[in-house]
Amino acid sequence: MARIVVLGAGFAGLWAAIGAARMREMIGDAGRDIEIRLIDRNPYHNIRVRNYEVDLSEVALPLSQLLDPIGVAHGIGEIEAVDPGRRLISLVTRNGEETLSYDRLVLALGSEVMRPDIPGLAEHAFDVDTYAAALRLEGHLISLGRSAPSPGRSTVVVVGAGFTGIEVAAEMPERLMRAGVTGSRRIILVDHNPTIGATIGAEARPVIATALSSLDVETRLGVRVASVEASGVRLNSGEFIQAQTVIWCAGMRASRLTENFPGARDRLGRLLVDPFMRLADLPGIFAAGDVASSVVDGLHPTVMSCQFARPMGRFAGHNVVADLVGQPLLPLRIDWYVTVLDLGSWGALYTEGWDREVRTTGEAAKATKQIINRKRIYPPLSGSKDDLFAAAAPTVQAPPPTYGTQRR
């Protein structure tokens, strides 16, 4: 019996597992002695890109619903280390420390928000990096809505004006209203860069600025957080902002377990993989999603997003089985790139290309964003093996639809 282990149940890991099961069935008798096992710290697949939203009721999907119908074993464990030379995984489960062997491995442990050593950050700040963290923030906002007015109760400071921070800040007016947080609400977006959305593109930034202004989101730019306290945030400019809610969204980094593997990495700690999702000089090991960087169009490396993680996972899953049984591997090529940034009740921003040319804004872009967040990135929930396998085919979806040409 040969064993394929997939580490991580995010967008890349889930689709790698389903893609591997699809390929195992396609090869018929040759696949009967292949076991596919997925390990994650949680028993669910988190639609992570929705963790900033008001409604979290549909962002955690049980793995049993998705993997049991296709014969993929799954377990809960915290991965401690991987020994690629001995092909062993060290993990901690509810039964204690365990060791799991593999014949082929798909590393898909994703990324985590960077938490620098800032006084008070670990104790007092929230984030939306995981489903558990998003629930913690939601519970906190609800508790504020039930409490008596007090200094900083209605003020939220969001640190990091990249994609996640902008979406968190833009959604916050509605979240505070839904939570019943009354009084003079303030949302303040803090970033060390001199502009909002420094990496999002020159054409997009004025749209973002207009949206945030209409939502009454304040900004503090060109400054850093010096400390976080229970009562607020102190900036290196000397300003102290009274706030009972501080949300940290300042940058992502690949899982530190990538350090278990030799080879080149990029500045985000991602392992470099070839078009087949293989690690160089490490036979039998594939990587996909936020732990991996692959040049997918001959020029541009992937970015940390479900737009790339999902196809990377599908191709990694197909190829890991093909590699095991000696069949040809399929290269991943993606010739298009879009971004769709949620801007709360103002709408959204839709850009195309690596230069991020603005195509639609406002309600038109919001319609596209909702299609992506609520339908496009979801696996089939029918429990049908055929539906799951059809969705896991090693192909690349067409770009999401656009609606009209509205631009505010």
Q: How far apart are CA 343 and CA 364, in angstroms?
A: 12
297: CB partners within 8 A, 6+ apart: 333, 334, 335, 337
Specify whether the CB–CB gap between 369 and 49 falls below 8 A. no
The answer to the question of residue 332 being in a domain is yes
Residues 67, 122 within the same domain: no
Number of H helices, E strands in the chain: 9, 24
What tokens were used for 66? 């998705």
Residues 122, 242 within the same domain: yes
Specify whether the CB–CB gap between 286 and 313 falls below 8 A. no
Q: Which of 293, 221, 307 is nearest to 253 (CA)?
A: 293
Going residue by residue through the chain (408 aa), what tens digit of pLDDT does each one get?
A: 999 999 999 999 999 999 999 999 999 999 999 999 999 999 999 999 999 999 999 999 999 999 999 999 999 999 999 999 999 999 999 999 999 999 999 999 999 999 999 999 999 999 999 999 999 999 999 999 999 999 999 999 999 999 999 999 999 999 999 999 998 999 999 999 999 998 898 999 999 999 999 999 999 999 999 999 999 999 999 999 999 999 999 989 999 999 999 988 999 999 999 999 999 889 999 999 999 999 999 999 999 999 999 999 999 999 999 999 999 999 999 999 999 999 999 999 999 999 999 999 999 999 999 999 999 999 999 999 999 999 999 999 999 988 865 554
pLDDT of residue 408: 47
The answer to the question of residue 59 being in a domain is yes
The answer to the question of residue 394 being in a domain is no
Segment (H or E) for 25: helix 11-26
CATH label of the domain that carries residue 75: 3.50.50.60
| Phi, psi dihedrals of residue 323, rounded to the nearest 5° | -65, -40
The answer to the question of residue 379 being in a domain is no
DSSP assignment of 309-329 equals HHHHHHHHHHHHHHHHHTPPP
The answer to the question of residue 62 being in a domain is yes
Residues 202, 258 within the same domain: no
Per residue in 245-283, pLDDT (tens digit) is 999 999 899 999 999 999 889 999 999 999 999 998 899
Q: How far apart are CA 110 and CA 257, in angstroms?
A: 10
Residues 108, 119 within the same domain: no
Residues 92, 119 within the same domain: no
Q: Which of 210, 125, 136, 109 is nearest to 160 (CA)?
A: 125
Residues 183, 239 within the same domain: yes
Structural domain boundaries, residue 226: 115-250
Residues 202, 320 within the same domain: no
Residues 7, 106 within the same domain: yes
Residues 231, 204 within the same domain: yes
The answer to the question of residue 231 being in a domain is yes
Residues 94, 50 within the same domain: yes
Residues 179, 52 within the same domain: no
pLDDT of residue 263: 84
Our count of domains for the chain comes to 2
Distances from the Cα of 225 to the Cα of 198, 218, 250, 251, angstroms? 18, 16, 11, 14
Q: What is the largest CA-CA distance in the chain?
A: 69
pLDDT of residue 406: 52
Segment (H or E) for 190: strand 186-191
Picking from 306, 337, 368, the residue at the C-terminal end of a domain is 337
Specify whether the CB–CB gap between 153 and 144 falls below 8 A. yes
The answer to the question of residue 211 being in a domain is yes
Picking from 287, 312, 337, the residue at the C-terminal end of a domain is 337
pLDDT of residue 281: 85
Picking from 337, 353, 376, the residue at the C-terminal end of a domain is 337
Q: Which of 352, 349, 344, 316 is nearest to 332 (CA)?
A: 316
The answer to the question of residue 408 being in a domain is no
| Phi, psi dihedrals of residue 386, rounded to the nearest 5° | -60, -40
183: CB partners within 8 A, 6+ apart: 149, 153, 154
Q: Which of 269, 159, 294 is nearest to 225 (CA)?
A: 159
Residues 165, 213 within the same domain: yes
Q: Which of 321, 214, 331, 346 is nearest to 275 (CA)?
A: 331
